[in-house]
Amino acid sequence: MTHTLYLVRHGEQVDAEHGIPDGSLSARGELQAEAIARRLRGITFDKAWHSPLKRAEETARVMTDMLPPLKSEPSSLLLDCVPTGWVEGTPEVYHSYFNSYTEDETVAGRAQMGDATAEFLSHKTEHRELIVTHNFVIGWFVREVLDAPEWRWLGLNQYNCGLTIIQQRPGRPWSLLVYNDISHLPASLRTGLPDNAVD
């Protein structure tokens, strides 16, 4: 059975630009969540998951309210994290970026994403799953399915409520079908890529 993951970055949160670590959705974030829900109407999901952080939980709630009878479950494996620290082959330009995180944070992020990969990228009987999570988590999953170097999650940035789809057919490796698609979002709702995005 084909296994397909629909990966959605959470909507914009209130005062995200002021560094609030976990705020509620902004009014624009709610509109983004409604737009991606409309985009996914007509798809029958077997399971839905979300990060326990407020911005992802609220995005999932807005979406599942519009996609009955779908309910979403929290998973700590989908929490926002830094998937790796400095690894061999990382371009020197990222050195200062990694200096802004502690070793404990990057060790925890690596362990979390190892478990997340084992959980969500293992072939399952469910054939369509919706996952509402964070920029770096989606970047890590894309890096994983493309078998790219460990540091390459850097620069794989997602708009708020952008859509990425990965798929595995029986006996085949994972494929990247859609990456950061925002065709459902009008220009006024396209947020989330920082001006100084790590790329």
Does residue 128 register a pLDDT over 50? Answer: yes
Q: What is the pLDDT of residue 199?
A: 37
Q: What is the pLDDT of residue 21?
A: 76
CA dist 167 → 56, 128, 156 (Å): 22, 9, 18
> How confident is residue 22, by pLDDT bands cut at 50, 70 and 90?
confident
Q: How would DSSP label each residue in 71-82?
A: --EE-GGGS---
pTM of full prediction above 0.75: yes
Does residue 134 register a pLDDT over 90? Answer: yes
Are the CB atoms for 61 and 32 separated by under 8 Å?
no
β pairing state of 3-9 and 163-168? antiparallel
Q: What is the pLDDT of residue 188?
A: 96
Does residue 198 register a pLDDT over 90? Answer: no
3-class DSSP state for residue 130?
strand
Check residues 20 and 39 and name the one with the higher pLDDT.
39
Length of the chain: 199
Mean of the per-residue pLDDT values for the chain? 93
3-class DSSP state for residue 5?
strand
Looking at CATH, the fold of the domain delimited by 3-189 is given as Rossmann fold (3.40.50)
β pairing state of 3-9 and 128-133? parallel
CA dist 150 → 78, 101, 111, 139 (Å): 18, 17, 13, 11
Q: What is the pLDDT of residue 19?
A: 61
Cα(121)–Cα(111) distance, integer angstroms: 15
pLDDT per residue over 65-105, tens digit each? 999 899 999 999 999 999 999 999 999 999 899 999 999 99
3-class DSSP state for residue 106?
helix
Cα(39)–Cα(27) distance, integer angstroms: 19
Least Cα distance to 113 among 88, 136, 93 occurs for: 136
**Cis status of the peptide bond prior to 69, with omega within 30 of 0:** yes
> How confident is residue 197, by pLDDT bands cut at 50, 70 and 90?
very low
Q: What is the pLDDT of residue 68?
A: 86
Q: What is the pLDDT of residue 20?
A: 66
